[in-house]
Amino acid sequence: MDSATCLWWMRANLTADVHAVCIDYHQRHRIELEYAAVLAQQATVATHTVLEIDLASIGGSPLTDDNIDVPSASEDQQSVTVVPYRNLLFVAAAAARAQSLEIDDIYIAPVRDDSAAYRDCRREFYDSLEQTLRLGAPADGRITIHTPFVDMWKRDVIRIGLELGVPYEMTHTCYSGRRPACGICDACVERIDAFRANGVADPLDYEIDIDWA
3-state secondary structure of 38: helix
80 DSSP assignment: G
Which CB sits closer to a copy of itself, 85 or 212?
85
What's the closest the beta carbon of residue 67 comes to a copy of itself, in angstroms? Answer: 14
Cβ-based neighbour number of residue 187 at 10 Å: 21
Pairing assessment for the beta strands 144-146 and 105-107 based on DSSP bridges: parallel
Q: Using the rule CB under 8 A, is 97 a contact of a copy of itself?
A: yes
Which CB sits closer to a copy of itself, 70 or 166?
70
3-state secondary structure of 128: helix
Report phi then psi at 20, rounded to 5.
Answer: -85, 140
Instruction: Give yes or no for a contact between 6 and 41, defined as CB atoms under 8 angstroms apart.
Output: no
Site string for a copy of itself, 100-139 (x = CB under 8 A): x-----------------xxx-x-xx--xx-xxx-xxxxx
Cβ-based neighbour number of residue 14 at 10 Å: 12
Q: Using the rule CB under 8 A, is 203 a contact of a copy of itself?
A: no
What's the closest the beta carbon of residue 119 comes to a copy of itself, in angstroms? Answer: 6
Q: Using the rule CB under 8 A, is 19 a contact of a copy of itself?
A: no
Stretch that binds a copy of itself, among 66-74, 93-101, 103-111, 185-193 (CB under 8 A): 93-101
3-state secondary structure of 21: strand
Q: Using the rule CB under 8 A, is 35 a contact of a copy of itself?
A: no
Stretch that binds a copy of itself, among 4-12, 33-41, 44-52, 164-172 (CB under 8 A): 44-52
Cβ-based neighbour number of residue 72 at 10 Å: 16
Cβ-based neighbour number of residue 98 at 10 Å: 19
Q: Using the rule CB under 8 A, is 5 a contact of a copy of itself?
A: no
Give the separation between CA 29 and CA 64, rounded to whole angstroms.
Answer: 9
Q: Using the rule CB under 8 A, is 58 a contact of a copy of itself?
A: yes
Which CB sits closer to a copy of itself, 122 or 172?
122
- Residues contributing to the site for a copy of itself (CB under 8 A): 49-55, 57-61, 79, 82-89, 92-93, 95-97, 99-100, 118-120, 122, 124-125, 128-129, 131-133, 135-139
